[in-house]
Structures are given as C-alpha cells and as structure tokens.
Amino acid sequence: MIKYAVAVSVAVVMGAVVAGFSQGQSPAPCEVGAPPTAEQIARRRLAINGARQINTAEAKTSATSKRFVPLSQLTGVSLPAGFEAQVSTDGTSYTFSIKDMQDACKFAVFSDQTGVIYTASPLQ
C-alpha cells in the first residue's frame, strides 16, 4: 500500500513539473530546485574531471615522494578556461577547490587526500 501511495505521489509531482515546464514557467537557472541547464551540466562534468585529475596527480606524487605538493608541481592536470583551482597542502595532507567562474550559479567542487569529491554551491 505504501509503495502504491509513493508511486502515485511521484507521478503527480512529475506531472505537475512537466506541466509547469510545458507552459513556459521554467524557473531561473539558479533558483532553488531548478534543474541545471545542459551547458551547466557539461561544465560541472569538466570541474569533476579536473578534481579527479588533481586527486590522481596527488596520489601518484605521494606514492613516489611520500608528500603532497602544490598545484604548480602536479603533472597531468589541465583545467579548461573559466575554472579556478586552489590547492592547499602542508605536505602530509591537501585540500582543494575548483570553481566555475563562468557559472551564474557559482558551482564548485572540492576534495582532499581521501579522494572523495564533493559538489558545492553558495548559500542563497
């Protein structure tokens, strides 16, 4: 019974969302709950790819030198135009962020020596 009620609720919500979009009432790209545009999705993938590159480069460097290094000393990292990366390290740990400077929503990703990548957006 609960599964049926959940399925009906999801169908009603989806119908309302589709009806709202078909009437041209789409929310602004940065409005809470608004779906990202195709361009935003593509740029977010680029940011995540950059984060993977940094984590991989730090892991490789640490495996050979037993320390983490600043972004300027990493090889194999290339960020597309419009992205800004900041890496902080004390040699035994690191943290970094990559911000999309062209995204009106100010999308960013961040990670550290654990390799887990997080997505972020500013408080509204």
Is the pLDDT higher at 124 or at 118?
Answer: 118
pLDDT of residue 5: 41
Mean pLDDT of 91-118: 96
Q: What is the mean pLDDT of the chain?
A: 84
In the chain, pLDDT over 90 holds for what percent of residues? 69
* pTM of the model as a whole: 0.75
C-alpha 5/C-alpha 11 separation (Å) is 10
- How many beta carbons lie within 10 A of that of residue 93, not counting itself? 13
Residue 115 pLDDT grade (very low, low, confident, very high; cuts 50, 70, 90): very high
Residue 108 pLDDT grade (very low, low, confident, very high; cuts 50, 70, 90): very high
3-state secondary structure (DSSP) of residue 7: helix
Token readout for 113 is 């020596």
**Partners of 89 in beta bridges:** 94
Mean pLDDT of 82-97: 98
Select from 86, 50, 84, 53 the least CA-distant residue to 70.
86
Annotated domain spans of the chain:
1-35, 36-124
